[in-house]
Structure 1
Amino acid sequence: MLADASTDLPVRQVLPAVTSALRDSGAAVLIAPPGTGKTTLVPPALAERFAGRIVVAQPRRVAARAAARRMAALLGEPVGATVGYAVRGDRRTGPDTRIEVVTTGLLVQRLQHDPDLGDTDVILLDECHERHLDSDLALAFITDVRAALRPDLRLLAASATVEADRLAMILGTPQQPVPVIRAESVGHPVAIVWAPPGPVDPPYGLRVDPRLLDHVAATVRRALREADGDLLVFLPGGGEIDSVCRRLADLRDRLDLLPLHGRQSSRDQDAALRPGARRRVVLATAVAESSLTVPGVRVVVDAGLSRTARTDLGRGLGALVTVPASQASATQRAGRAGREGPGVVYRCWSAPAHDRLAPYPEPEIAVADLTSFALQLACWGHPDATGLALPDPPPAAALRVARTTLLALGAVDQDGRVTPRGRAIAAVGAHPRLARALLDGAERVGTHRAAEVVALLSDEVGIGGGDDLVANWRRLRSGVDVAATDRWRAEARRLRSAAEAAAQVVDRSPRQGPSARQIGPAEAALPDDLAAGLLVGLAYPERLALVRQPGGTSYLMAGGTAAELRPGSALIGARWLAIAVADRAPGRSGAQIRLATVIDEDTARTAGAALLHSEQEVAWSGDDVVARDLERLGALILADRPPARPERERIVDALLDGLNRVGLSLLSWSTSAHSLRARLAFCRQAYDDPWPEVTDEALLAAARRWLAPELATARRRADLSRVDVAAALRRLLPWPQAARLDELAPERIGVPSGSQLRVDYSDPEAPVLAVKLQETFGWRTAPRLAEGRVPVVLHLLSPAGRPVAVTSDLESFWRTGYAQVRAELRGRYPRHPWPADPTTAVPTRRVQPRRR
């Protein structure tokens, strides 16, 4: 029996409950802490009780291969007999294989091609807590298949730290969740040693403070002195692994330093997973966090960092960033030390800092580029993800950006449905952008070169060189780095086969959606640098970049984002670049160029054909209207010429923009224009509608209406300065109000002396009339405006024009104030009349004649 070959681990106690739950409910959740044997004991037990194939899905290839090898070893068989595996580029199965370990990505592809999975009885989704996009898709697709096609297909979701009750409701319903089976850990105790570093900077983008790496190396040396057994050191990425290895290089004469990460060859990964003759220090990324058993490990040193993908939706840039690990990840890592005996974990942070860590890792769906995810949804027939049992819905903005990208690639139609071209892109098994570059580039530069460049751009190959893509390509061809060259050649072979197979999926002529223009025979012989640039541009047309200043390091990408070369880059001086990798550090507006190649303008035009367009730009620039005809590649200006005939509406828009930027001072305001505006403001204050508002904001908002005739002929700022503003303002008045303006708010008022004096409407609530006192003789009351609604404020002046009184109640002034004014002024101005009763006196503008 298969299970009899297994060792006695805690999960064996719950195997009957697992099989019963699957028989009765069809689905279940298994929670089993690290070291309980869920990955190696459960599949053989399921194979004993169910007749069909048992498919075990692991998030990572190294874990899939290791799990298959472990189960095969327990059975005393070679891999490929009862137990086999299948990962990208590597498959070992046979006709008698009952248990097949695959990656979740490969399982998603199988579900797309054969949703029935006719030969499969049970699927075990392992390490559900890691929440990779492929894991979420596999969970959703299998649940959909069970509901619609295969109710007999059984599903077991397994993890050590997943939120079990929530997952049980996803697999079942909130009212009837599937059973949750828990295996209690009886593993070995793991002591925790808190080993915080001194002052270090938090991680910033990809950067990790070298002082932290110094501390990790020092902690490794401490652990070697204080504890027995092999060490497993967790670091965020390959660069940090190499750095710590260099810091520990002097230990190589007495122990083995072994890197372990996803970009290694399977041979190098297997070497880290085999016991050695000497004490070992295995320096690993998160690939060793779960599923894997690294034999001999009794000590874990945890740097406390993880590397995760982030996407800048606004700029179309994706990047890996370094973040603190979650509590769940720290628990998983610590558990590696207690698999074979009592162990110890050295955590390079403090206990209070641990309490502040996030409980679980952030799901990839919340932060990652969703282009591949959206294409899988479209191929499944659920482009908006509704109706699928996803643990978390995709963010609307990220899904919208992904759909826009797929539409530009011709992979989906306007409704989000997959096209034949989209199915061909999906069949390549690479990011849709890279798949598009492979398929379109193969017929332009040849399948062999296209596959080599796309393999270089894929996540499968860690090139580890500088930012010159072509130099890295040549280095890989030379084979100087054997491991990297082997990975690159293996991926290139896979892509060549995928391109040839995809060509049979759909006839890509005529094309589905925008594409680069066809290339003639001369272009098919492009040199390597231009061929690489063409392929990069086909994948990332918005990253075609033009230098801002000749010989400089700053570029503007077609997508509108600035990008900078690193000092000393071999690419400095290039006018055009095709940028393959760029990332933007938090808080910075521009991006850092990580990988690019030099191209010319013709290649940029070819690769970015969908972004090419001509336009006429007429805009307010500086202090006047500027008009030009532009040829653009996205945000990049390829040609700039004066227009033969600018469009009138664009000129009007530019002039109005100038008015809004500079203000109404662009117009020449005469005295009559100022007076008319003040009178209109007075009427608006007195009557409200339909009298127009004439504030700056209101006039600017309505400028297209009251300046219409002038805007119809104006071409520049000078034309606006010649506008008759008073005549233009009158266009704001409805005709009944225009007819009554002089009646309700006269520009001048006649006074008893016969003078016609201008009214000051500066204060619309209290219009002012400045008049010499002698000219008002005979007035009993002050005049009123707006049909008697508003009294005029009289500024009464002396014969010399100096104010002597202010009043809007003239009758009261004559009665109570005039006598004092008369007494003060009659001696000062004896030749002017100062009657005792001004209401009956004759008004005058003149002085009395001098007596002879």
Structure 2
Amino acid sequence: MPDPISRLLADPPDLPVVGGLAALRDALGASGTVVVHAPPGTGKTTLVPPTVAAVVQGRVVVTQPRRLAARAAAARLAHLLGEPVGRTVGCTVRGESRTSASTRVEMVTTGVLLRRLQRDAELPGVGAVVLDEVHERHLDADLTLALAVDVRAHLREDLVLVAMSATIEAERTAALLAGAVPGVTVPVVGVPGALHPVAEVWAPPPRQIGRLDDRGVTPGFLDHVASTVRRALAEQEGDVLVFLPGAGEVTGVGRRLGGVEADVRPLHGRLSHREQDLALVLGPRRRVVVSTAVAESSLTVPGVRVVVDAGLARVPRTDHRRGLAGLATVSVSRAGATQRAGRAGREGPGAVYRCWSEVDHARLAAHPDPEIATADLTAFALELACWGSPDGSDLALLDPPPPAALAVAQRTLGELGAVADDGGVTARGRAIARVGVDPRLARALLDAVPHLGVRRAAEIVGLLAEDLRAPGGDLVAALRALRRGSAESASWAAQVRRLEQAARDRAAQDGPAQDGSAARRGAGTDLPDDLAVGLVVALAHPDRIARRRPGGTTYLMTSGTGAVLRGEHGALSGVPWLAVAEADRPPGRSDATVRAAAPLDLDLAVGAAPSLLREEHGVAWVDGQVVARRSHWLGAIELSSERWQDPDPALVSGAVRDGLAREGLSLLPWSAGSRALRSRVAFCHRVLGAPWPEVSDEALLEGLDRWLGPELARVRGVRDLGRIDVLAALRRLLPWPEAARLDELAPERVEVPSGSMVRVDYDAEQPVLAVRVQEVFGWGRAPALAGGRVPLLLHLLSPAGRPAAVTADLESFWRTGYPQVRAELRGRYPKHAWPEDPATEPPRRGVRR
């Protein structure tokens, strides 16, 4: 008697993929690695796995991107075999397994296979791996494909690999697989689609209704989607499938469809199995299935002839600079919109109602970005480290991880103690990886157990891991709702059971992992729920511990990013300390918007993030004074500050230097002598060069320690600066022994023929001697400075001290310039000497006797 799989393949259902099964069998026999290119709805998920099982020894493991899709695919194939799930066809998802010794095809989520590969890379008992929906480019799917290829190349040449794609990524995937296994040709088996025509109906919202705001999808747009569904029900026949970005929007539109002549069935991953099954089976009357992206490609919803597409998708986005990671709501790509529309044409002609305009459609991105380009890579980096390839460069990844994002992820893992300095995984890192959630949440689970107990720690981490929407952003309220039995309690309870077991397994091995980061407060299990949730969030995200800013309503996180709560009167409003689980920063905003948080207190904040504690001794120049303070910080949050009575002299000097740099050297008490010395040295540097130093403001500030250093440490303010002997300080810059010639090279004063000692002005480019004409009678030539290199420029003055002539050549002046000066001034100053031949006249200081 033939086995169930042979009976099925002998008389398969009428699906388009049947035409490609013979080519698939031939390709498997020739190379053992195949890429199947088949559009959604062709039946590849249903018939390719049993076809592979018929030609290989061992179990066939089939990955699906979501739990819901894995369960549905198992149920569909088991139904065709006439058996319950758990016999020939099994199913394993996180927290649930239905298999037996007779199971030949096992549907699993990608994460389940990833855990098995990390636990035992040889996959004992597995004859083939079928990776479905690789075109969706989820991060764990890309990694699982790369690891499976690595296993086949180095450990299991007999392991059959089949990758299935609904897009042209199939050719690229085949080229990648062929390059990873030298000498092997990887064929692509194409299966043409068999879609019926789908009419396009453009249904954009009114211009005044926006799709998104800071809080997400707007209520007005959800109203429009619901109105479009009612229109589609009135204009078309058959069941209606509605695409929305998330579970919250599914609930919102479902509520708005009350009273329609159809059964409204929600469909998303958080629902119970019973509620999911209601959406996946035909009912006694018309249905409206309101779904997230789970129904886009990897899941079949029978009876659908109409699609209403909101045109939105929820994708991972990470702000690496601020350490903010989460899900963002964006416009669907054209490829995604095409796949969604195809759901209306599987069973007959259909229609798609798109809630945007044809013009907007042309502006959509052609394809969605792969998650590896946009998502937080912390979990990905931990998997690479566990595999022994910290940067993934030797793995067959469809796209390499962005270096900056990978570096941030590796730094985060280092802070968790999950990887060593060389990038290799630590024992703590392996324990974190085995928990099977984001590494930060796994760390929080392991470190919170000693303080909260296994059950409460698992409940809170389960809440965070399930990415449940918290009403008003209040995680404590969300936890209490789950305990009372909300619509999402089923998936949360399964997650909690799994996390409890993971924590107990860890404790059984070597006790709870400790890294010194558990809360300082010895609260035990009597910590109230409010603070217990806050503690777990703080352990998971110490960089998002936040304190309310003084006198305001905004917060500052330890990462240095500002944060603001949504709404003004929520339960968290006014809480001094918060542990932020989820936040995002809207474009153009400096502060992040808090999406989910819990209360915290100072002791728990410090205990959860001891590595962020630091003490700073700061000395600064503030308003003309040296201010010295000792501060304690938690990341970017200043916890306390006090006056520092005995500051380090080096820090004091640095503060004074900063003050002088900002406010200028005019703060110093420049005497006439110090200014004159500076000018003379500047002249020598300008004319003679080294070793005479530059004494410009910039040079003096840069070399402040050389000439003013001893005085700086004693300064406490402007008053102390006023006591500095700048002349003595400048003399420290004089070069010896050359400085002994300063009075010769650049004399402060020059004796003129009258016997007067006249000051030389060195501020101009050429040194200037300003002297009355009568005092230089008989002087044939003025002296030259700098060893005869630079002649003095004489400013010859009238008896009143006003300039009468400027010359550097007295001999020429007496011949040609003096007669004119004499003619102009002798009548005005008759008491002064104005000889016709000044070259022979004795000099005079005063009036003529």
Tell me if TM exceeds 0.5: yes
1:225 aligns with 2:229: no
Aligned mates of 1:211, 1:508 — CA distance in 2: 49
Mark the CA change 1:681 to 1:155 in structure 2 (over 3 Å): closer, same or farther: farther
User: Which among 234, 248, 272 is matched to residue 257 of structure 2?
Assistant: 248
Mark the CA change 1:310 to 1:738 in structure 2 (over 3 Å): closer, same or farther: farther
Counterparts of 1:578-589 in structure 2 under 5 Å?
A: 578-589=579-590
8 Å Cα contact 2:446/2:512 also seen in 1: no
Once the two structures are overlaid, the 10-residue window that deviates more, 650-659 or 434-443, is: 650-659
Counterparts of 1:772-787 in structure 2 under 5 Å?
A: 772-787=772-787
Aligned mates of 2:320, 2:190 — CA distance in 1: 40
8 Å Cα contact 1:204/1:322 also seen in 2: no
Aligned to 1:29: 35
Percent identical among aligned pairs is 59
Once the two structures are overlaid, the 10-residue window that deviates more, 361-370 or 688-697, is: 688-697
Aligned to 2:488: 484
Instruction: Give the match's secondary structure for 1:81.
Output: coil
Q: TM-score, normalised by structure 1?
A: 0.93
Counterparts of 1:114-513 in structure 2 under 5 Å?
A: 114-173=120-179, 178-199=186-207, 200-201=209-210, 203-204=212-213, 207-251=216-260, 254-458=261-465, 460=466, 462-479=468-485, 481=486, 483-508=487-512, 511=514, 513=515
Deviation, structure 1 residue 609: 2.6
Deviation, structure 1 residue 607: 1.9
Aligned mates of 1:5, 1:80 — CA distance in 2: 22
Deviation, structure 1 residue 116: 0.3
Mark the CA change 1:276 to 1:775 in structure 2 (over 3 Å): closer, same or farther: farther
Deviation, structure 1 residue 210: 4.3
8 Å Cα contact 2:652/2:713 also seen in 1: no
1:532 aligns with 2:533: yes
Aligned to 1:559: 559
Aligned partner of 1:113: which letter?
R
8 Å Cα contact 1:6/1:75 also seen in 2: no
Aligned mates of 2:748, 2:615 — CA distance in 1: 53
1:799 aligns with 2:799: yes
8 Å Cα contact 2:317/2:376 also seen in 1: yes
Aligned mates of 2:171, 2:677 — CA distance in 1: 75
Deviation, structure 1 residue 506: 4.1
Aligned to 2:841: 841
Aligned to 1:515: 517
Aligned mates of 1:718, 1:144 — CA distance in 2: 73
Mark the CA change 1:791 to 1:166 in structure 2 (over 3 Å): closer, same or farther: farther
Once the two structures are overlaid, the 10-residue window that deviates more, 789-798 or 118-127, is: 789-798
Instruction: Give the match's secondary structure for 2:360.
Output: helix
Instruction: Give the match's secondary structure for 1:423.
Output: helix
Deviation, structure 1 residue 717: 4.4
**Deviation digits for residues 54-79 of structure 1 (CA, Å, limit 9, x no counterpart):** 11111111111111111122222221
Deviation, structure 1 residue 500: 0.7
Aligned mates of 1:682, 1:203 — CA distance in 2: 69
Instruction: Give the match's secondary structure for 1:43.
Output: helix
Mark the CA change 1:693 to 1:540 in structure 2 (over 3 Å): closer, same or farther: same
Aligned mates of 2:695, 2:274 — CA distance in 1: 80
**Deviation digits for residues 140-190 of structure 1 (CA, Å, limit 9, x no counterpart):** 111111121112212222111243333223212299763223222232122
Aligned mates of 2:601, 2:724 — CA distance in 1: 50
8 Å Cα contact 1:578/1:599 also seen in 2: yes
Deviation, structure 1 residue 699: 2.2
8 Å Cα contact 1:469/1:596 also seen in 2: yes
Deviation, structure 1 residue 822: 1.5
Aligned mates of 1:206, 1:237 — CA distance in 2: 13
Counterparts of 1:539-554 in structure 2 under 5 Å?
A: 539-549=540-550, 552-554=552-554
Mark the CA change 1:744 to 1:503 in structure 2 (over 3 Å): closer, same or farther: same
8 Å Cα contact 1:782/1:791 also seen in 2: yes
Aligned partner of 2:634: which letter?
L
Aligned mates of 2:361, 2:808 — CA distance in 1: 78
8 Å Cα contact 1:123/1:156 also seen in 2: yes
Aligned mates of 2:813, 2:646 — CA distance in 1: 67
Aligned mates of 1:524, 1:609 — CA distance in 2: 21
Once the two structures are overlaid, the 10-residue window that deviates more, 46-55 or 554-563, is: 554-563
1:741 aligns with 2:742: yes
Deviation, structure 1 residue 42: 1.0
Aligned mates of 1:78, 1:636 — CA distance in 2: 58
8 Å Cα contact 1:424/1:505 also seen in 2: no
Instruction: Give the match's secondary structure for 1:49.
Output: coil
Aligned to 2:3: none
Mark the CA change 1:492 to 1:770 in structure 2 (over 3 Å): closer, same or farther: same
Aligned partner of 2:495: which letter?
E
Aligned mates of 1:592, 1:816 — CA distance in 2: 84
Aligned to 1:67: 73
**Deviation digits for residues 608-647 of structure 1 (CA, Å, limit 9, x no counterpart):** 2332333323233444322222232222233323334322
Once the two structures are overlaid, the 10-residue window that deviates more, 625-634 or 327-336, is: 625-634
Aligned mates of 1:189, 1:695 — CA distance in 2: 82
Aligned to 2:613: 612
Mark the CA change 1:36 to 1:524 in structure 2 (over 3 Å): closer, same or farther: closer
Aligned to 1:696: 697
8 Å Cα contact 2:624/2:717 also seen in 1: no
Which 4+ residue blocks in structure 1 deviate beyond 6 angstroms?
A: 174-177
Aligned partner of 1:565: which letter?
L
**Deviation digits for residues 352-409 of structure 1 (CA, Å, limit 9, x no counterpart):** 4333322221121222211111111111111222211122222222222222222222
8 Å Cα contact 2:785/2:792 also seen in 1: yes
Aligned mates of 2:672, 2:136 — CA distance in 1: 75
8 Å Cα contact 1:516/1:610 also seen in 2: no
Mark the CA change 1:284 to 1:731 in structure 2 (over 3 Å): closer, same or farther: farther
8 Å Cα contact 1:127/1:291 also seen in 2: yes
Instruction: Give the match's secondary structure for 1:192.
Output: strand
Once the two structures are overlaid, the 10-residue window that deviates more, 690-699 or 537-546, is: 690-699
Aligned mates of 1:36, 1:688 — CA distance in 2: 86
Once the two structures are overlaid, the 10-residue window that deviates more, 576-585 or 195-204, is: 195-204
8 Å Cα contact 1:236/1:305 also seen in 2: yes
1:109 aligns with 2:110: no
Once the two structures are overlaid, the 10-residue window that deviates more, 199-208 or 672-681, is: 199-208
Instruction: Give the match's secondary structure for 2:473.
Output: coil
Aligned to 2:667: 666
Aligned mates of 1:648, 1:247 — CA distance in 2: 71
8 Å Cα contact 1:456/1:463 also seen in 2: no
Number of equivalent positions: 839
Mark the CA change 1:41 to 1:691 in structure 2 (over 3 Å): closer, same or farther: farther
Aligned mates of 1:811, 1:227 — CA distance in 2: 113
Q: TM-score, normalised by structure 2?
A: 0.94
Deviation, structure 1 residue 508: 4.9
**Deviation digits for residues 774-807 of structure 1 (CA, Å, limit 9, x no counterpart):** 2232333444333333333332221111122233
8 Å Cα contact 1:227/1:299 also seen in 2: yes
Point out where structure 1 has 5 or more consecutive residues left out of the alignment: none
Deviation, structure 1 residue 202: 6.4
Aligned mates of 1:105, 1:424 — CA distance in 2: 16
Aligned to 1:771: 771
Aligned mates of 1:504, 1:186 — CA distance in 2: 54
Mark the CA change 1:842 to 1:169 in structure 2 (over 3 Å): closer, same or farther: farther
Mark the CA change 1:778 to 1:185 in structure 2 (over 3 Å): closer, same or farther: farther
Mark the CA change 1:816 to 1:45 in structure 2 (over 3 Å): closer, same or farther: same
